[in-house]
Structure 1
Amino acid sequence: MSTLLEQAIHAHGGIDNWDRFRTVSAELDIGGAVWHLKGQPDLFQGIELAAALRRQHVAITSTAGGWRGTFEPDVVGIGAMNGAAREERRTPRDAYQGHTQPTRWDRLHALYFTGYALWTYLAIPFLYARPGFRTEELPDWHESGETWRRLKVTFPETIASHSREQVSYFGEDGLLRRHDYTVDVMGGARGANYASGYRNVRGVMVPMSRRVFAYDDTMQKIDEPLLVSIDFRSIDFHTE
């Protein structure tokens, strides 16, 4: 494990504390320009989440929308809360073949993307210490009057996420500031994901707010439009 990753894990609460937990639950709102572009505005406003932390399994419930969905890497499904017919898609990543950034999505496209994205975000940086992940420290980055250390992370093929290679930026306090990736299921669209509003939740430092923008060829953030917003209203970790 790299020194930077060790420091980041310690700053976020430590691996021993993290390993106590098996699941996470949350209430949150997701918005931004991407959802209008994809034809699914407000789909993830006012949702509840329940996720496993040792495997990729996420359940999302929208009381207002009257639906409940589940994500796993090999299958996503969504149905009405009253038990009415459920839509399901196996090998869901195959359904994005030929997609570009403006390609419209159905609800299962949106659910797969959101499921793997939230699972990834909630597990960083502890996720990077798992078997199969490779890390490499990059030169420092200067932004917002701060110096951020950067860690390039190569994901194993067994983990569904935006792309195989991603970069996390950590402040002098060791907390995640920014997370860069390209989005394979959007034809390689770029995302610079800014984490802020940290809260101590059972000893884990969690960013309650995330804002995602595009970035240019020099890795500089493009301020408009705001692509994705994520605001957690509550979050809790559980040992069972």
Structure 2
Amino acid sequence: MNDLLEFTINAHGGIKTWNKFETISAKLITGGVLFPMKQQAGILDDIYVTSNTKKEFTTHYPFIEKDWHTSFDPGRIAIENHKGEIIEELFNPGESFIGHERETPWSKLQLAYFAGYAMWTYLNAPFIFTNSNYKVKELEPWEENGEIFRRLQVEFPPEIATHNQIQTFYINNEGLIARHDYNAEILGNSSAAHYLSDYIEVQGIKIPTKRKVYIRLEDNTPLLPAPLLVSISLSEINLK
């Protein structure tokens, strides 16, 4: 295993501890300008999420109606009721974003697809990178606000739905992910600098409870202080 990845995995609780669990759940409080810009304000403001740790699957609930939830995997997004009956579904949802720009409106299924793959990536990193299908290497260090970060570049396998194939994770001196860079292809390939903070330990796993996403400029710095694209606060975190 890459030594930086091993350092990061161990700092987050270790792969043996992580492998005990099949799901991770949390309550989300979400803000920022992205979802109103996409004409989908309010739906993800206060919601629960559960992601699978063994395969790419996520559900958000309640979604729009109190007895509805989403069902995401890379090839399908659906809105279902509590009986599992399909309200709406879309196969190969990634293709529906072809030609989209940053401000192109989304449908509710497109919102659910974005939220599904994004939260799966966020909740499962860095542990998924131990899978041999992921290619990792260490980049040159990055200095920001007086702190030096080691950087782990990760190439995601093509079968995984995520922001884009090559993403960069900034590791602080404690081994925790402090920043996550990517280009959101379904947002017109928009560049993002995603900051993680306020880590807590849950059942032996270190998890950030605050996330803030900003536009990333060409010099690799965030556009601050605004606009804040997305903010996420996690609570009621549980691993099973």
Q: TM-score range by the shorter chain?
A: over 0.9
Once the two structures are TM-superposed, the CA of residue 85 in structure 1 deviates from its matched residue by: 5.7
Q: Give the structure-2-normalised TM-score.
A: 0.95
Match of 1:229 in 2: 231
Deviates more, 1:67-76 or 1:109-118: 67-76
Alignment of 1:155 onto 2:156: yes
| Residues 86, 5 of structure 1: alpha-carbon distance in 2 compared, 3 angstrom cutoff | same
Distance in 2 (alpha carbons) for counterparts of 1:115 and 1:106: 14
In the alignment, what sits opposite 1:4? 4
Match of 2:96 in 1: 95
Aligned counterpart, 2:106: 105
- The 5 Å alignment of 1:1-240 reads 1-62=1-62, 65-66=65-66, 67-80=68-81, 86-223=87-224, 224-238=226-240
User: Cα offset for 1:82?
Assistant: 7.8
Counterpart-to-counterpart distance in 1, 2:116 and 2:171: 24
Cα distance in structure 1, aligned partners of 2:121 and 2:210 = 15
Q: How many residues align?
A: 238
Letter aligned with residue 186 of structure 1: L
Structure-1 separation of matches of 2:29 and 2:131: 29
Cα pair 1:46 1:64 within 8 Å, conserved:
no
Give distance in 1, aligned partners of 2:129 and 2:80. 33
Q: Displacement of 1:63 after TM fit? A: 6.7
The SS at the match of 1:135 is: strand
Cα deviation digits, residues 70-93 of structure 1 (max 9, x gap): 111111111455877610000110
TM-score, normalising length: structure 1: 0.95
Q: Which runs of 5+ in 1 are unaligned?
A: none
Distance 1:180 1:49 in 2: 22
SS in 1 for 2:39: coil
Superposed CA offset, 1:39-75 (max 9, x none): 0011102111122111011111127743311111111
Query: Which deviations, in whole Å up to 9, do the C-alpha atoms of 1:93-119 show, x marking residues without a partner?
Result: 010011010100011001000100000
Which secondary structure state, in structure 1, belongs to the residue aligned with residue 228 of structure 2?
coil
Instruction: Give the conservation status (yes or no) of the 8 Å contact 2:43–2:63.
Output: no
Structure 2: state its 5+ residue gaps.
none
| Residue type at the aligned position of 1:33 | V
Distance 1:123 1:43 in 2: 23
